[in-house]
Structure 1
């Protein structure tokens, strides 16, 4: 079982605390140096006034969108490298056991997770475009788009993998061992995942109601991980969501400003369009996955105890 794999590694609470500090330092500070340098070179002393206003979006807008996109994702790549080092050096845990309870990574599950969200996003965007063509402008330019596609294919999986290994892997396994149950890490990592996005420009534009979407997405990915005993579905789903989103559509108020195919120029509103995906679409995704991979024993997998392997084996024999 996925969470119990942490018992095979060095799982003292202080290791997770030190590991989290190391990863945060690498991700935000070391990983952010190239982005800061690029903005400084472009803006010079003017950056001080924007820094006082805490206007990160304006800072990024001085850069070419593809360069800004690459440098933002580079931060996550550095964080992922640091996290893998923490796994190996601080916890003595193989990356496979941080990924899945299976004997090897199931790439079929990865691509299934990718495909289900990619298909949904494309279909939903086409329908939205047909219903509200006045809300979109054609943003496609061949050369910038091809550069964007290359950056996205290489860097987006590093960004999404960092978030999955950190929240559904590192934190979920660590909190599972410390709390001795599964519901606490599921809820806690979902809230933390939502909090990670609190400084996104979407929150400033739409208000805190969008946190329902972010926390709900974290909960969806956490349920996938616990029910399937591995990160493969969550890794693929997160990658598909961010990749297709970056290539297909952008807006002036989103975190990723890209040379995408479409630009949404409508005035965004926060309401049912944020809540409905969480309460209707996400359960449908889980239903499809549950039928495909024959998930059962939901109560135990989502709310059961996290026990050392020897105790787990004894309780099963009893």
Structure 2
């Protein structure tokens, strides 16, 4: 079992508390370059420093490519902190945080990536063909090439940070402490969604958008528990954010980029928000369940998490875990 992996490392409750604090502080330190760059630009232009407290103003001060890089830098620093915390505070290998398999299954990573990428391209293409007046073609080779380099490097680090924090570190930590699977699934999904409250999409759509964010957290969490590893969620999350940053932007999104298209339509706050959660996500789960032969949904999502029996072999420094 994926959550049981944590029992093979140091898993006292205080380690997860200290580890979470270290990871949080590291990610905040990683955001300092963005704040410094924006503050310097505002002061140079003679603007009001207090205005940068508004996220919309903060994101519009610098060139969008530079803003994207500096914004994603905090996630890269946070991911490094997760690695160090897991490696040295918990004495756990990164593979054990990633999956219950002996090694990371990159085929699963690329399958999750491809599934959402192909779906997004098809849906966006159909919408562009049906409603061309809703889009502006803004492709500019040089800014787009710079965006592509930044996005290909930094966005997988950003999404990996979120996955390793929520579907990895906290999922395992809460699971071994609560001794069940449903509580870490609920907590990590709700907290994951709540952390998106500061996104500009919330101002545009209202609180109904939280159905999408929290629903996405549940979707990624279910995927991780059913597949006994994070590979699918790592690929899916990276594909979703990367193709969005490169393909379509809008004035009301958190990623304001030099993408190929700009959506100028007025988004609806009803069906379009909940459709991915209640239509697309179940279809994706069924596709994955068929491909990877998922069984026993009740046990994998709501079952108990029991510590493996450790049998110390005579004259052997290692122990054998019986699950």
Q: TM (normalized to structure 2)?
A: 0.94
Q: How far, CA to CA, are the matches of 2:280 and 2:162 in structure 1?
A: 22
1:40 — aligned with what?
39
Off by >6 Å, runs of 4+ in structure 1: 313-316
Q: How far, CA to CA, are the matches of 2:254 and 2:295 in structure 1?
A: 37
CA shift, 1:60, in A, is: 2.0
| Aligned-residue CA RMSD (Å) | 1.4
Partner SS, residue 258 of structure 2: coil
Partner SS, residue 92 of structure 1: coil
More helix by percentage: 1
Q: How far, CA to CA, are the matches of 1:305 and 1:244 in structure 2?
A: 37
1:7 counterpart = 2:17:
no
Q: How far, CA to CA, are the matches of 2:54 and 2:252 in structure 1?
A: 12
Superposition pairs for residues 1-318 of structure 1, below 5 Å? 1-28=1-28, 30-44=29-43, 46-51=47-52, 54-310=53-309
Are 1:40 and 1:47, in contact at CA under 8 Å, matched by a contact in 2?
no
Q: How far, CA to CA, are the matches of 2:280 and 2:202 in structure 1?
A: 21
Q: How many residues align?
A: 312
1:314 to 1:14, Cα distance in 2 relative to 1, 3 A: closer
CA shift, 1:89, in A, is: 1.2
1:314 to 1:67, Cα distance in 2 relative to 1, 3 A: closer
Q: Please, which runs of 5 or more residues in structure 2 have no aligned partner?
A: 311-319
CA shift, 1:62, in A, is: 1.3
CA shift, 1:314, in A, is: 11
CA shift, 1:277, in A, is: 1.1
Q: Deviations over 1:104-161 (max 9, x none)?
A: 1000000000000000000000111112111110111000000000000011110000
